[in-house]
């Protein structure tokens, strides 16, 4: 259940960070700080978290290969994933708000540039 909520947040973070780096060489928008991968993900997931998660995945795969029930997720890992998911959800929300403000400003500027010049009515 937790993975069901955490995975979309991870995907959103990856999409936002890839969008930020899509225009290599071009300066990033004002939303840069909010969609920087370091800002989005930094300090949330540790190397120990990654090690624990993959150890659990290996144990579950081993059990599956041996036609056994997978072991339950360790409580410590479950708590870490839940905490990381909550933090990433909040950071993802902030990044999405910053990105929508940037997009609104960009579209508004484009519409302004495309608007026909007012004609002199005399």
pLDDT at 29 over 70: no
Enclosing domain of residue 39: 2-19+32-114
Q: How many CB atoms lie within 10 A of CB 26?
A: 7
119 within a domain of the structure (yes/no): no
52 within a domain of the structure (yes/no): yes
pTM across the whole model: 0.49
98 within a domain of the structure (yes/no): yes
Q: How many CB atoms lie within 10 A of CB 105?
A: 13
Residues present in the chain in total: 122
The total number of structural domains in the chain stands at 1
Q: What is the pLDDT of residue 92?
A: 83
- pLDDT bin (cut points 50, 70, 90) of residue 28 is very low
122 within a domain of the structure (yes/no): no
Tokens of 113: 């540039």
108 within a domain of the structure (yes/no): yes
Closest alpha carbon to 36 in 117, 101, 98, 78 = 98
24 within a domain of the structure (yes/no): no
26 within a domain of the structure (yes/no): no
pLDDT at 24 over 50: no
Q: What is the pLDDT of residues 35-73, one digit of tens each?
A: 667 766 778 888 898 999 999 999 999 999 999 999 999
């Amino acid at each position: 259940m937790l993975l069901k909520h955490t995975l979309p947040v991870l995907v959103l973070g990856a999409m936002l960070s890839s969008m930020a780096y899509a225009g290599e060489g071009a300066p990033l928008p004002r939303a840069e700080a909010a969609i920087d991968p370091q800002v989005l993900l930094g300090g949330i997931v540790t190397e120990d978290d990654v090690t624990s998660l993959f150890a659990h995945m290996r144990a579950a795969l081993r059990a599956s290969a041996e036609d056994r029930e997978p072991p339950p997720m360790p409580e410590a890992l479950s708590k870490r994933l839940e905490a990381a998911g909550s933090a990433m959800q909040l950071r993802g929300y902030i990044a999405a708000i910053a990105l929508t403000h940037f997009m609104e400003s960009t579209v508004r500027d484009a519409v302004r540039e495309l608007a026909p010049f007012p004609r002199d009515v005399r």
